[in-house]
């Protein structure tokens, strides 16, 4: 399943966004303390459009998980949006499996909103970081 992520950033900020997401996913929850966590979180490539964030989203109560990758998509001469490609171990996107993918999407969208909010706040308080926009 391919999901468009409603965030646009300047090309020079794509790496910053990926590092932010990687850190948040790694710290989301530890398997010992939660029934939901991320693992296998890593980044390949060094700049857009080659850079990709990979991660698995697991739930202990379902004994299944989603396999995911987040990729930048050029949206303008110097800007990128993002696309989440997600599947379950069975590759299905129907019924319970679709619900699991939607759960992953919800977590990613919340993290994207936090990223956008934090960068807007930095811009308001005088930081020189550009503002990320959520569309």
* Per-residue pLDDT reduced to its tens digit, 49-71: 999 999 999 887 666 689 999 99
Q: What is the mean pLDDT of residues 2-17?
A: 94
For 13, the token pair is: 């900020």
What is residue 54's three-state secondary structure? strand
Q: Please report the pLDDT score of residue 134 as a whole number.
A: 59
The span from the CA of 1 to the CA of 88, in Å, is 9
Residue extents of the structural domains in the chain:
2-134
Instruction: Output the average pLDDT for the chain.
Output: 85
Residue with tokens 């989203």: 57
At 103, give phi and psi (nearest 5°). Answer: -65, -40
Residue 98 is predicted with a pLDDT of 82
pLDDT number for residue 45? 96
**Sign (positive or negative) of CA dihedral 12, 15, 19, 22:** positive
């Amino acid at each position: 399943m391919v999901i468009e992520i409603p965030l646009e950033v300047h090309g020079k900020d794509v790496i910053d966004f990926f590092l932010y997401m990687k850190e948040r996913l790694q710290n989301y929850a530890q398997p010992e303390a939660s029934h939901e966590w991320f693992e296998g979180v890593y980044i390949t490539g060094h700049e857009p459009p080659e850079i990709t964030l990979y991660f698995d989203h697991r739930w202990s109560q379902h004994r299944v998980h989603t396999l995911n990758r987040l990729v930048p998509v050029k949206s303008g001469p110097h800007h990128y949006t993002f696309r989440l490609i997600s599947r379950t171990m069975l590759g299905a996107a129907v019924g319970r499996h679709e619900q699991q993918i939607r759960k992953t999407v919800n977590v990613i969208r919340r993290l994207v909103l936090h990223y956008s909010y934090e960068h807007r706040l930095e811009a308001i308080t005088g930081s020189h970081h550009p503002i990320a926009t959520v569309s």
